[in-house]
Structure 1
Amino acid sequence: MEKLPSQEATAKVSSIFVYPIKSCGGISVSEAPITPTGFRWDRQWMVINAKGRAYTQRVEPKLACVEVHLPKEAFQEGWEPSSSSYMVLKAPGMDVLEISLSTPQVRVKGVRVWEWTGDAVDEGDDASKWFSDYLGKPSSRLVRFNSASATRPVKTSFWSHKPVEPEYARGKQIMFSDLFPYMIASQASLDTLNEHLKDPVPINRFRPNLLIDGCEPFSEDLWTDVKINNFTFQCCMLCYRCKIPKVNQETGIEGTEPNETLKKFRSDAIVYPSRKQRGRVYFGQYLVCKDNLIAGVEGNVIKVGDHLHVLNMVSSADEVPE
């Protein structure tokens, strides 16, 4: 992989998004502490069925309409919840649900998300009834990642039955994210896509953690190493999109766009012309933080307005790992 000279201050962070419950609504914040598994609170919870398997918008698009609220101070560096700190959930036709941010004590075994199986902690019967009623799926449970004892290594693919931990992410961990701790996308890429759409879509269709502005469309495809604030990130692979971008995040209704339009100029035949064609479309790039993050150290925060510097890049996406 030939790396090209970098450019300074390529872009700025324009938005930061955290998704506390996998596949439920995101929270837009002005700053967020970074951790080895992603932004703090990101994908720390998920909803499971009676067999312990994760529900996502791929099969339950109504999850998009679950609003998740955390205390504003939860995204301040060094903040710790008290006994009166809650995550608040709202959804159409449902009463408000409060979930204590204190770690529950009931462990659940055999929780599954893609290829990973492990333990989690259960958020109780009230949360179970709330999600069971909302989804119309009895025995749904809300569980929290058991960070005290569970680990989940980064994997290259959730489509493969034999996923491999990539060399470029060796030792990196995630909670309930799909593949990697962070996802980045650019406003210019979204603007270019929307120029091709009859009905423009917002960035929440793609559920990134970082939205950046000030770079060329899809230039993020070519980045291999970037620096944001004082942190260095490795760009791992382009994000191949499932059906979730087709789900309207305000209504929970699935359509056909933007995936149909993405097929015209963001398919693997165009992005990766020399590789095996799998009918995928791409938008955004996955990241891991290369720095050794130490709990309790001040300054482990990324803020809206922080500069992004490209440290290394390649000449074509075909050189990027898939």
Structure 2
Amino acid sequence: MPSEWDKERKFEIEKVHPMYLITALCVVPFGVYFLLNFLSPLIHRLTAMTISEIYVYPIKSLRGVKVKEALGTAHGFKHDRTFMLLRITPEGPVPMAVSKQPEMTQFLQEIHGYNDADGSLRVTFRAFGNAEAEKSLTIPLTPDPSSLEATEITLHSSATRALQMPQSYNDWFTSCFGYAVQLIYIGAHTRAVLFDDMQPREPSPLTRFLRAPLPFTTRSIASAIGLRPTSPQRIAFADCAPFLVVSQTSVDDVSSRLPAGHAMDVTKFRPNIVVQGALDAYQEDYWGVLSINNSLDVVLAHNCVRCASVNVDYETGRPGKGELGDVLKKLQEDRRIDVGARWSPVFGRYSFWGVGRGDEVVRVGDRVNVKKVNDGLSIFSWPGLS
């Protein structure tokens, strides 16, 4: 028989006012939701990843150069996509790409003197099936712009001035490709990033106040409250962003879709930074900001939507055969996740230097943590590519 003390301690829900119950039912789910959102970045931070590979592509769309470290800038890694090949057509010069000219994968690149003023780029034409046609060319990494004629070129609707390299280089590439091409160098010029959500806006009174030279004003304040930039992001000849980040865990998932004994070549995704150690494939879809060595922020702003270039056989320079030539189709089965590009599968994230960061060296082995996790998926918004 219960004692008087037990009777007093017994909780009787019938005596609780209905308003309290309704309030609890409304508040508790929200509390759990915000708690999970608060803990998610902390969990990611405790699970450190590392940079396993770094690539630069001096001449856009040719084979990449794997390096142990690279100097990162707001416009991309030093020497990354500073040159571009154009196909000469009756309508005018047209930027070349692996998806349309798969033979571009037959050109290997080597950098000599990455940090030297007189550094050079050695390009070797492999000529699959014709060893006698193999040959090499050496190009200065930073040509003297004073001797080069200026030109105008538009890549993915984003225009820039560029510099025409000497005709001898054009002749060499033309002899390799078998059709007329031109090599151009971006020099000190840059292109505008055209993602709709990254376009600068006229500064509001609040923005002007926060950007005023007051003692307590910092760039991080503006970044933290989500202020739009008032000047556009700029890039070289990279498609849409200065950096492309991919996860090795996701690359392994693609490998699992291929026939036994075959692994996906990560360079077909054209990454700049490969991150190793993510717990699950495609976690990067929701990554908002990565922190490198707890000091450098990299903002993952948009998905990279894929084209037929991932189907190319890099050994032959031709479209792949069988299942190895159906990588795009395999990704389309479950990776069409971006409503801004409904028919294109997503792999990797277009990324940008953190607000106010200067030039910094990034190295293989650097520690990587997820600093921010987005609530939802980003929406691709580059005009003409979505």
Shorter-chain TM-score range: 0.7 to 0.9
Q: Partners in 1 of 2:356 and 2:103 — Cα distance?
A: 37
Q: 1:250 to 1:257 in 2, by over 3 A?
A: same
Aligned to 2:270: 207
Show CA shifts across 1:187-235 (max 9, x none): 1101111112114321011011111111021111110111113211111
Aligned to 1:120: 162
Q: 1:259 aligns with which of 313, 325, 328?
A: 328
Q: Does 1:80 align with 2:116?
A: yes
Q: Partners in 2 of 1:282 and 1:144 — Cα distance?
A: 30
Q: Partners in 2 of 1:130 and 1:173 — Cα distance?
A: 31
Alignment gaps of 5+ in structure 1: 157-162
Aligned to 2:186: 145
Q: Partners in 2 of 1:155 and 1:277 — Cα distance?
A: 15
* Greater C-alpha Rg: 2
Q: Partners in 1 of 2:301 and 2:241 — Cα distance?
A: 8
Q: 1:57 aligns with which of 77, 98, 108?
A: 98
* Larger RCO (alpha carbons 8 Å, 6+ apart): 1
Aligned to 2:194: 155
- The alpha carbon displacement at 1:153 in A equals 1.4
- The alpha carbon displacement at 1:166 in A equals 3.8
Once superposed, which parts of structure 1, at least 4 consecutive aligned residues long, lie more than 4 Å away?
167-170
Contact in 2 for aligned 1:60/1:135 (Cα 8 Å): no
- Give the residue type in structure 1 aligned to 2:249: A
Q: Partners in 1 of 2:165 and 2:285 — Cα distance?
A: 39
Paired residues, number? 294
Aligned to 1:302: 362
Instruction: Write out aligned runs for 1:1-322 (5 A).
Output: 4=38, 5-6=40-41, 7-8=44-45, 9-50=47-88, 51-71=92-112, 73-74=113-114, 79-82=115-118, 85-91=119-125, 92=127, 93-104=133-144, 105-138=147-180, 140-147=181-188, 150-156=189-195, 165-166=198-199, 171-198=232-259, 199-215=262-278, 216-229=280-293, 230-255=295-320, 256-267=325-336, 271-272=337-338, 275=339, 278-294=342-358, 300-317=360-377, 320-322=378-380
- The alpha carbon displacement at 1:145 in A equals 0.4
Contact in 1 for aligned 2:245/2:275 (Cα 8 Å): yes
Alignment gaps of 5+ in structure 2: 1-33, 128-132, 201-227, 381-386
Show CA shifts across 1:254-291 (max 9, x none): 13321111111212xxx24xx47731111111110114
- Give the residue type in structure 2 aligned to 1:154: V
Q: Partners in 2 of 1:155 and 1:233 — Cα distance?
A: 19
Contact in 2 for aligned 1:108/1:121 (Cα 8 Å): yes
Q: Partners in 1 of 2:361 and 2:333 — Cα distance?
A: 38
SS at match of 2:62: coil
- The alpha carbon displacement at 1:314 in A equals 2.5
SS at match of 1:21: coil
Q: Partners in 1 of 2:340 and 2:329 — Cα distance?
A: 20
Show CA shifts across 1:30-86 (max 9, x none): 110001111111000000133232111122111111111111x41xxxx3322xx32
SS at match of 1:132: helix
Q: Partners in 2 of 1:108 and 1:94 — Cα distance?
A: 31
- Give the residue type in structure 2 aligned to 1:146: G
Report which stretch shifted further, 220-229 or 114-123: 114-123
Q: Pairwise CA RMSD of aligned residues?
A: 2.1
Contact in 1 for aligned 2:69/2:364 (Cα 8 Å): yes
Q: Partners in 2 of 1:206 and 1:259 — Cα distance?
A: 11
Percent of aligned positions that are identical: 23
Q: Partners in 2 of 1:119 and 1:52 — Cα distance?
A: 14
In terms of fraction of residues, the more helix-rich structure is 2
Q: Partners in 1 of 2:78 and 2:61 — Cα distance?
A: 16
SS at match of 1:33: strand
For normalisation by structure 2, the TM-score amounts to 0.71
- The alpha carbon displacement at 1:130 in A equals 1.2
